[in-house]
A and B are shown apart, each in its own frame.
Chain A
Amino acid sequence: MTAALESGSSDDPAMAFLAVVTGPPGAGKSTVAHALAARFDHSVLVPGDAFFGFLAWDAIVPWLPAADSQNEIVIRAAAAATGRFVAGGYATVYDGVLGPWFLPDFAAEAALDHLRYIILLPSVEQCVDRVANRLGHGFTDEDATRQMYREFARADINERHVLADLRGPADGTAAEIARRIQGGTLRYP
């Protein structure tokens, strides 16, 4: 980690960036995303779930096919907010389910030419196990977890965006992601 990377300052918009940390449920997104954001001086963690939380009425469970258009609306709103944090000079980490098929729209709505994209993809059993055993989280659907896992595993995306070895502590994973951000290998497009 160099000083330049750690000094993401609000006075220097050039240091601002967006890193999307995604993956299926149970991949460890939230923990890693928080550890990643915490590495920078001026940083923001945007939890994608917050935008689903705004829905007061008529919300469809987001992993059902019928929720596609609702998901699109919610993700566009999330992208608009996320882009403004980046424009405001923050090292911005987005934590949420965001398949590569949605990246062009997300980047456009965020008004960004490019972003950093990382898919956390441990084994499917690790994901299922974590979803089944975590506390204080609304999502516990094993079939939906496996379905979303398959979608990420099959996604058309260069493997440099995929991090599969997640056995170490989240801080170590975050440090590895920060190194890759700096090295430019997570850049999309």
Chain B
Amino acid sequence: MTGIQASGKSTVAQAVAERLERSVHVRGDVFRRMVVNGRVDMGPANPPEEAVRQLRLRYQIAAAVADQYASAGFAVVLQDIIIGIHLADMVSAINHRPLYVVVLAPSAEVVRAREDARRLAHGKVAYKPGDQDVAELDASFRRDTPRIGLWLDTSGQDVGQTVNEIIARLWREAKVT
């Protein structure tokens, strides 16, 4: 499950996992935060090479962990910000099939509103000064990400509606090879 920051991935992924039996929710961001010294994060429009290297490593690790749980019979929801060419790379990095891709694509206005609400409620900020702003990131995300899997405009939905739609459409419409 992918989407830009504050697109609702974490909440929706957890809710989908809870609807499935014997399920796992692998949060890719966890592997970024495991780096203690030498961490270089993505963020600016032109990230340093080391940031991209660390991003790729994080995706490979998330894919390996998802494969481990899947091969042991778990339904796995792997959730991370995987945009542009990285989405195709991730699909190849995951060995397990069947594989389903869900892209959460609420409108940039909804993402910005969610981000503002989040900032007021918890002080949690996905978009820091210097990062691409929401509109810019949303545009490049829509322009550069391959159209695979199930793309959902979740703008008008609450979490329950999004989860219901995913469960209803996943098996037929989200499958990738």
Interface set of A (CB-CB < 8 Å, partner B): 10, 34, 37-38, 40-47, 50-51, 54-58, 73, 76-78, 80-81, 84-85, 88, 90, 93, 109
Q: How far is the CB of A36 from chain B (nearest CB, A)?
A: 9
Ranked nearest first, the 5 interchain pairs of A and B with the lowest CB-CB distance are A56-B17, A42-B38, A77-B68, A73-B72, A37-B36
Tell me how far the C-beta of B175 lies from the nearest C-beta in chain A, rounded to whole angstroms.
Answer: 21
Q: A54-B69, A85-B57 are in contact. Are A45 and B26 (CB under 8 A)?
A: no
Q: Does B24 contact A (CB under 8 A)?
A: yes
Q: Are B14 and A56 in contact (CB under 8 A)?
A: yes
Contact call A54/B27, Cβ cutoff below 8 A:
yes
| List of A residues within 8 angstroms of B17 by Cβ | 56-57
Most B C-beta atoms less than 10 A away, residue of A38, A42, A78: A42
Q: Which residue of B lies closest to A57 (CB)?
A: B23
Q: B65 contacts the other chain (Cβ, under 8 Å)?
A: yes
Q: In the complex, A129→B72 CA distance in Å?
A: 37
- Could you tell me if A38 and B68 are in contact, using CB atoms closer than 8 angstroms? no
B150 CB to nearest A CB, Å: 20
**Minimum Cβ distance to chain B for residue A88 (Å):** 4
User: Interface residues of A: mostly helix, strand, loop or mixed?
Assistant: mixed
Asked if residues A73 and B34 are in contact (CB atoms below 8 Å), the reply is: no
A151 nearest CB across to chain B (Å): 24
**CB within 8 Å of A: which B1-43 residues:** 14, 17-18, 20-27, 30-31, 34-38
List CB contacts (< 8 Å) of B75-102 with chain A: 77
Chain B residues with CB under 8 Å of A58's CB are 21-23
- Contact across chains for B64 and A80 when beta carbons are under 8 A apart: yes
Residue in A34, A41, A73 whose CB lies within 8 Å of B74: A73
What's the least CB distance linking A6 to chain B, in Å? 10
Q: Mark B97-109, 1 if CB is under 8 A from A, else 0.
A: 0000000000000
Contact B14 A46 (CB under 8 A): no
CB within 8 Å for A42 and B72 given contacts A55-B24, A57-B20, A57-B22: no
B61 at the interface (CB under 8 A from A): yes
Chain A residue contacts of B67, Cβ below 8 A: 80
Which residue of B is nearest A88, CB measured?
A: B57
A40 proximity list for chain B (CB < 8 A): 36-37
Indicate whether B50 reaches chain A with its CB closer than 8 angstroms: yes
Asked if B57 and A34 sit within 8 Å, CB to CB, the answer is no
Q: B residues within 8 A CB of A93? A: 36
Which chain A positions have C-beta within 8 A of B132? none
* A-side contacts of B145, CB under 8 Å: none
Contact B65 A81 (CB under 8 A): yes
Shortest Cβ gap from B95 to chain A (Å) = 11
Residue with the highest number of chain B CB atoms closer than 10 Å, among A46, A47, A81: A81
Interface centre among A44, A54, A84 (most CB of B within 10 A): A54
**Chain A residues whose C-beta falls within 8 Å of the C-beta of B155 in the assembled complex:** none
